[in-house]
């Protein structure tokens, strides 16, 4: 997995590329924990380069959402393909996240 | 975890060679990741090699996962929490919930001293997915 990071209007956009499963989730987790340690609490995760996500990845996102709540931050997601969205729906994760239709809307939502 | 990585890679190659849809490939990758990491956790130090077979018959894909660890049926796990608010939400059990719900059929049997999990689905079930 490779992870790109961009900064827009005080929001960090994290773009993992590849799969998010038990073999890669620790890479994403370390990256997101690094942001939290640096008090970067407005976070957008760009899923447009993510092929699929398994529960190991959901665990990392749940921790991100909980940190976001604790740090009074904002988290938004966008770019989910049908497979990722299906996993989110089956796991009941749709209710836990702001899922925006576009990058611009995700950034806007994380700024608010 | 290297065994999991290797098996997922072999499945990717199988999926590509047999022209599986992205939808079916991804659903099986999610399920396989759950099942194999589960086996790695529950197999214990005495756990021997895990055998994974892929078979495509017509448009029906069957994947079997076998190990010789003590009897363990992952499908006995209680339903995962998929509705609590964020404060109370736990991630535990979500993996096996995905295995149960993503695929058309999942069956466990303990036979000949081995655990066998059989996962099946069809290549053409969700033709409108990317």
B4 vs A contacts (CB less than 8 Å) = 22-23
Ramachandran bin of B113, using left for φ above 0, alpha for ψ from -120 to 50, beta for the remaining angles: left
Q: How far is A109 from chain B (nearest CA, A)?
A: 18
Q: How far is B80 from chain A (nearest CA, A)?
A: 8
Domain that holds residue A78: 2-111
In a domain, B128, yes or no: no
Note the pLDDT tens digit of each residue in B1-47: 578 999 999 999 999 999 999 999 999 999 999 999 988 887 765 56
State the pLDDT confidence band at B129, using cuts at 50, 70 and 90: very low
B68 to chain A, any CB pair closer than 8 A? The answer is: no
CATH of residue B16's domain is 3.30.565.10
The owner of tokens 């199988």 is B14
CATH of residue A40's domain is 3.30.750.24
Domain count within chain A: 1
In a domain, B91, yes or no: yes
Cα A48-B84-B75 angle, rounded to 5 deg: 80
Domain count within chain B: 1
Note the pLDDT tens digit of each residue in B57-111: 999 999 999 999 889 999 999 999 999 999 999 988 999 999 999 999 999 999 9
Domain that holds residue B95: 2-122
């Amino acid at each position: 997995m490779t992870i790109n990071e961009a900064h827009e209007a005080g929001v960090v956009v994290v773009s993992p590329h590849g799969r998010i499963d038990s073999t890669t989730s620790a890479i994403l987790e370390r990256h997101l924990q690094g942001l939290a340690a640096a008090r970067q609490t407005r976070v957008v995760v760009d899923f447009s380069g993510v092929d699929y996500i398994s529960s190991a990845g959901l665990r990392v996102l749940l921790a991100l959402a909980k940190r976001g709540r604790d740090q009074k931050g904002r988290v938004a997601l966008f770019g989910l393909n049908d497979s990722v969205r299906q996993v989110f729906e089956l796991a009941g994760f749709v209710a836990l996240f702001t899922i925006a239709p576009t990058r611009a809307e995700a950034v806007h939502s994380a700024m608010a | 975890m290297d065994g999991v990585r290797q098996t997922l890679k072999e499945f990717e190659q199988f999926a590509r060679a047999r022209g599986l849809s992205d939808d079916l490939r991804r659903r099986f990758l999610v399920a396989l990741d759950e099942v194999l990491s589960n086996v790695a956790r529950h197999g214990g130090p005495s756990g021997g090699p895990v055998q994974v077979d892929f078979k495509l018959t017509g448009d029906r894909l069957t994947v079997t996962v076998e190990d010789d660890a003590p009897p363990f049926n992952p499908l006995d796990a209680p339903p995962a929490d998929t509705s609590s608010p964020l404060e109370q939400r736990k991630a535990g059990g979500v993996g096996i919930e995905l295995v149960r719900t993503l695929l058309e059929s999942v069956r466990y049997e303990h036979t000949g001293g081995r655990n066998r999990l059989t996962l099946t689905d069809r290549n053409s079930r969700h033709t409108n997915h990317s």
